Structure formats: structure tokens, C-alpha cells
Amino acid sequence: MAIFKGAGVAIVTPFHEDGSIHYEKFAQLVEEQIAGGTDAIIVCGTTGESSTLTHEEHLDLIRFCVETVKGRVPVVAGTGSNCTQTAVYLSQEAEKYGADALLLVTPYYNKATQNGLFAHYKKVADSVKLPIILYNVPSRTGCNIQPQTAVRLCTEVENIVGIKEASGNISQVAKLQSLADGKVDVYSGNDDQIVPILSLGGKGVISVLSNVAPRQTHDICQKFFDGDVEGSMQEQLRAIDLCDALFCEVNPIPVKAALNLMGKEVGPARMPLSEMEPQNVERLKKAMQEYGILAKEA
């Protein structure tokens, strides 16, 4: 049984202008996501700027998210680290706070071997009872989970159940699924590849796009599940320019800018991330207007 099927939002972390977490705004975003049909909330991921949160902030935000969601959809907590013991600590605390599942990014910077990745993930998984989704994003971590390693983890470690695949390599996803024999729940980690990964047996997406278009992202998945592959494909293609604009600078700079353009007031990104370049703001505004989530200027 998959942790969730459909579109899970990799939710942003809103900040006050002084850089502190804006909890009231976070609660508003959660409510809007659930009302918009989002199938899961993924808190403290890359889009949530987990790399700049203190451990105390990180865990407090997970606790607050669980309390806000109140069991209406699954809460998947990002608890990965490039230090195995830190990942164990964060994962155990998230379990205490009532998270439904964990998302564990590959150790970044260390560049572990495949055997090192297996040992790292097994150590974390053995420390908790929660189901775990591996997170493969080599463009950010310098480390790629090979298909054989992902299948081995999901086969040999009982509570490792899936992978967020953000390698961008559809051939790698196909190879993974050919080896998996149904043992790996695959989620797209790229909003422009939802339908391709669903067509290979994927369970859904962990999405940046959902922050600004929750209903539409949910519908891409739901139409596919309902057998309307043509409708799903059309929704995917309609979103391509917006997806491109949301990644024209490093995530989450553009998505926070987009939410602010929509009047959501999620504040700035934390340093070392910076304000979006003016020409890219214009590109983003145009894509949002063409997609229909931002009014065209008179």
C-alpha cells in the first residue's frame, strides 16, 4: 500500500522579513493545499529550505505541520542529512511527532558509494518504524542511487518502500521499474515528468508546481489514474512553460517569488539564496499569466 497516490506538495517554508518561520502563514498554506486536492504534504524538503533550518526549527515545523494537518492527508517529513547519525536523530524525532512517513535525501557532498548508500539508509530505517521514501536528486547532491541499489533497499529493508526520482533520467526510471517487480513506489521528483513516470508505473509526484497549482497538479495524476491518459497528458503539456519558469533559478527561489506574486506573502528565501533576477521575474509572471494563475496586467 503506497504512502500516497497522486500529487504531494513539497511545501515551502514561509518566513517573516526577519527570517523567522511564519507559522501562521504556513498553516494557511497547508489549508489551501488540502482544499485544493493535494494528496500529501511533504514538509522540510528541498523546497522547504531544510538545509538552512536549525535542528530545532526543522523538528518544530514537522510537529506544527502534523498538528495542522490533523490526519487529513499524509505528512511526509524530510529528515535526510549527509551525516547518518543526524538523519537517525531527525527521523526518530519526526516519528515521535506523528509524521506518517519520511523522505530521506541521499547524503550530499560526501558522495557515498552504492554500498555506503545502502548502509546509510539501512541504519536510518532500522532506527524507526515509519515507511521511508528515498530521495534521489544527483544534480544537488553529487550522488546517484543506482536502480539496483534502490531495488535492493526496498526489497531487503522492510520499511523502505519507495523513491522520489529527481534524476531527470527517464531511462534510469525505466531500468528501476524493470528490476523492481512492483516492490518500489516511484514518485516523480520533476514536475515536467509526471506523466512519463506515471506511464512507467509511478504512484505520483512530489511537486513544486503544487505550491501554486495544487488542483491542476492533482488532476494530472488523477486523470491518468482514471484512464484519461489524453487529458492527463494535455494538463502536463499545458504546465511545461510554467514548470520551466519555476526552475529558471534554483528551487525554491522562483516558487517563493511566484507565491508572493499571487499575494501569499511567504517572504524571502534564506541566505545563501537570493532574490530572483528581474528578467526571470518577468519570465515567471508571463508563464503564470498564460497558465491562468496570475491576472494579466491591464
Catalytically active residues are 135, 164
Phi first, then psi, for residue 214 (nearest 5°) are -60, -45
Task: Determine the Cα–Cα distance for residues 3 and 271; give it in Å rounded to an integer.
Answer: 33
Count of C-beta atoms within a 10 Å radius of residue 54: 8
Q: What is the DSSP string of 174-233?
A: HHHHHHHTT--EEEESSGGGHHHHHHTT--EEEESGGGT-HHHHHHHHHHHHTT-HHHHH
CB 97 within 8 A of CB 62: yes
| Residues belonging to the chain | 298
Looking from the CA of 34 toward its CB, the CA atoms found within 13 Å total 15
Phi first, then psi, for residue 163 (nearest 5°) are -145, 135
Task: Determine the Cα–Cα distance for residues 266 and 62; give it in Å rounded to an integer.
Answer: 18
For 136, the enclosing helix (H) or strand (E) is strand 132-136
Runs of H (alpha helix) within 113-169: 114-126, 138-141, 147-156
Give me 188's grid cell. 516523480
Rg of the chain taking only CA atoms, in angstroms = 18
User: Across the strands, what pairs with 163?
Assistant: 134, 186
Task: Determine the Cα–Cα distance for residues 49 and 51; give it in Å rounded to an integer.
Answer: 5
Identify residue 9 by its one-letter amino acid code.
V
Phi first, then psi, for residue 250 (nearest 5°) are -65, 135
